[in-house]
Structure 1
Amino acid sequence: MKVINVVGARPNFMKMAPIIEAMNRYPDKIRHLLVHTGQHYDEKMSQSFFVDLGMPKPDINLEVGSGSHAEQTARIMVEFEKVCLQEKPDLVIVVGDVNSTMACTITAKKLGIQVAHVEAGLRSRDMTMPEEINRLCTDVLCDYLFTTDHFADENLAAEGVPADKIFFVGNVMIDTLLKHRALASTLDLSRKLGLVPKGYATLTMHRPGNVDDKRILTGILEALAEIAKELPIVFPIHPRTKKMAEQFGLGHFFNSGEKVEGIWITEPLGYLEFLHLNMNARLVLTDSGGLQEETTVLGVPCITMRPNTERPITCEVGSNIMVGNDKTRILEEARKILSGEIPQGRSPEKWDGHAAERIVEVLVEKLG
């Protein structure tokens, strides 16, 4: 069986790393290539993720770079078609919900190649999110749909996907977290920064709905600044957020000095460094999807600054709290946590570090 594994953005690396490792246990049955579309093309950051995760260098880099959604998707499709025609794989594996996920799925299916989607069935019901469009288009086309929880299974069933295409395997992102947690705990990053365990919060924020509107971004930053009076916030700032904050004249909310206080910004961090910070944080504030999952397993309270989530399992059994982007709600929930009201959660079923093994076992059984 010849397989092409596709990654396009940094979260994809975390999801693909354990799948590649599991495939390597079947050298007589699986030959695989790693294709990086180059959707996220920051060389420093991409390289650090490959090193941290122990992933092989990509066999092929399409180097599509940035652009509008249409431009980026079109470039990926044109270049990935060439790869498929040359390599003639039996299967393409896509992960997550980025433009590369959808583009490579469409391209492969039009060439008659089977496609497997890892992290299938997630739904936010928010069609203003490009990721939601990517998820819907990908799932309706794929031959193998690997899901993380019962909500995803139910979503796919409600959309008419045949049961024999759906495989509940768990969460490959958690495979990666559990494998690297011990190593991340040995880092001395927090000490270097002058932080003490549970003496700070971490923050990620990049969604257009939060950062592209001056009024909304101002309200969020005002709430965060209030929280930061009691608990410093470490913010590895996303380029989009940095650009919009500067454009709106909101740079005064950030502290980039040597002392960690207020909303303290850093450059984007590598996987192990960021895992280390989140493991030791008292609180995580985010509008990301993956962090909702990671904090659930780490047992760290998470305040999600979005009106919806495609990962409701993290609210059902985990420590994730949805607050939207309302200043009052953000402050209200943060103050509860700071006063000791810690939401108690547990890890969802099959988030046990063996999801990738289950995926590869299914593929070997079906295609091997």
Structure 2
Amino acid sequence: MNDYLVMAGYAAAGAGVAGLLGWPAIVLLRRRSLALSLFTVALVTALSLSASTIAVARAMLLMRHDYAVVTIVLIMGCLVSLAVAALLSRQVVVGSRALTRAARTVGSDDGFTAPAGPLSSELAALSSELAATSARLARSRERERALESSRRELIAWISHDLRTPLAGLRAMAEALEDGVADDPQRYHARMRTEVDRLTGMVDDLFELSRIQAGALTLTLSRVSVYDLVGDAIAGAYPLARERGVRLVGDRVAPAPVEVDSREITRVLGNLLINAIRSTPADGTVAVAARREQQEVVVSVTDGCGGIDEQDLARVFETGWRGGSARTPRSVPTAPSGAVQHHGDTGAGLGLAIVRGIVEAHAGRATVRNVHGGCCFEIALPAASPTAPAPA
């Protein structure tokens, strides 16, 4: 037992000396190439094994022949281990360089190009994360491009919609100043209509800016969707009668919802005005509401004839108005020839406001084509059944 302890001591001493000599080299190389660090670790290990074996062999006072055999075996083992370490280091270097080249493609228009060669599990996991990051960047870039395009369209359309009524107001004001207006009362009515339209446009822009800035404050309360739909139909009825459109709301379930009544009334009003504008005379706009599990779905179906499939995804974008005219349709009323827009600014903001308000309620707004028209649906959170019933 004492002999074994002595040999263990000699082995520990030899390995310790080699380890102490190799440790500074490993510390100095920690910021260098990973391949060089791996090779250095293998070299220090081989030297430690060799030093401990030689120390034990000398302590055992082996014969020259036996000592030579031990030395040769150590040399061969060290050479093989160092060769394997060099190959492994080379593989790591090749994989790292390939991943470095691939990383340069993250966020490019062509997308991330994964290395073709085999990678270690760690590098393969890193490659997968880079691919996922590149995909997220691509989606973010697409959203940014869509938003930028939407902003440009909105600015162009708002500029157009502002220029037209302002030019009309200026012409009518000049006519009144010069005394050439044959019917001043008619001019005043038209000017009031254009001012109302501009006011509605500014109000919509302000509301949309609040929504996009996250500054929309909601005052939630438990109300019946039947009452909300009834108020919205009552507000849109004059426009529907003026345009000869029938409003139908006989399939509205009295389901309770947790919403901001004022904002949801505006949502329903925007949907109804949009539906009435898009429906020809003698057409029908139908409003329905139903309970589905934890939400209440309100739908507004018009007779617009449908929307192109490629445009359905853009319906709720800011400023989108499809291929329709960029000025709101006007309906002459009364002998004076005054026109009424009923809050229809024509700026393409109504549906964007609808989506913003509904999403602020943790709901969703969708649209789909149905026979002869479109069906807009908003899903709102249903009120808890334990809450007190609405008055």
* TM class by smaller structure: under 0.3
Bigger RCO (CA 8 Å, 6+ sep):
1
Query: Which protein has the larger Cα radius of gyration, Structure 1 or Structure 2?
Result: 2
The alignment's TM-score, normalised by the length of structure 2, stands at 0.19
Greater per-residue helix proportion: 2
TM-score between both structures, scaled by the size of structure 1? 0.20
